[in-house]
Amino acid sequence: MSTAATMRLPISRWSIEDRPTEKLQRLGTDSLTDAELLAILIGSGTQQYSAVDIAKHVMGKFNNNLNTLGKARFDEFEDIEGVGTQTACKIMAAVELGKRRQLATAELRPDMSTATRIYNYMLPKMQDLNHEEFWVLLMNQNYKLLKAERISIGGITETSADIRIIMREAVLNNATILAAVHNHPSGSLTPSRADDTLTTAIKNACSIMRMYFLDHVIVTDGAYMSYHEQGKL
């Protein structure tokens, strides 16, 4: 599709690979131009202009410079073709969020490099449970926690976990290190045969996916058992 032909059509009639929202989903935010990012905020165009057209009008008004756009007053949007009150508010709100992000402190990700740290992190979530739960802790290459995800809820004496779900979560969160955690409400620190089987299955799956399986920690109210510390991995 030529550029001229594209600009005469509403975005909903563009080829899928040219639409800003689909392009973002396929290639990421950094693949979009400033105008395309603005077009997503604008949402829909008018009978005369597509959202990308309007976004280009906005950028042109402010010399195609995001820093200049960031200093714009509300009244400066009034004479831009296709920009109404709601669109102006969306743009100004997005600009303000960007400014506030620059002032915000980066989120501190806890270190999960040892069984003790895993236990201390998971104990508040598990110490009062009267049933078993199975969680995975997904980490980056520096053992910093990306996400703690509950995979399954079981009964009083056992729970099970689907390896496919575990690995899917690891891939979706770009994890390179994984730890498994589940609790024993009975207070016993002795792993069951099912625990051993599941641990082996996770280790094998991680090996195939080139992830490091750090540990499987069994949590009770006051103590823990670590497969890694026991030399069982």
**Per-residue pLDDT reduced to its tens digit, 114-130:** 999 999 999 999 999 99
Arithmetic mean of pLDDT over the chain: 88
At 95, list the tokens.
């600009």
- Indicate if the pLDDT at residue 200 is higher than 70: yes
Indicate the domain borders of the chain.
3-103, 115-226
What's residue 7's pLDDT?
47
Q: Is 41 within 8 Å of 33 (Cβ atoms)?
A: no
Q: Provide CATH code, domain 115-226.
A: 3.40.140.10
Exposure of 54 in the CB half-sphere (CA atoms within 13 A): 28
The reported pLDDT for the residue numbered 17 is 59
CB burial of residue 181 (10 Å; 0-12, 13-18, 19+): buried
Looking at residue 200, the DSSP 8-state letter turns out to be H
Token duo for residue 148: 């703690």
What is the three-class DSSP state of 100?
helix
Predicted confidence (pLDDT) per residue in 11-27, tens digit: 666 666 567 888 888 88
* Gyration radius of the chain over CA positions: 26
Tell me the two tokens of residue 134.
Answer: 């199975």
Q: How far apart are CA 77 and CA 41, in angstroms?
A: 15
Tokens 């002795």 map to which residue? 190
pLDDT of 3 > 50? The answer is: no
pTM exceeding 0.75: no
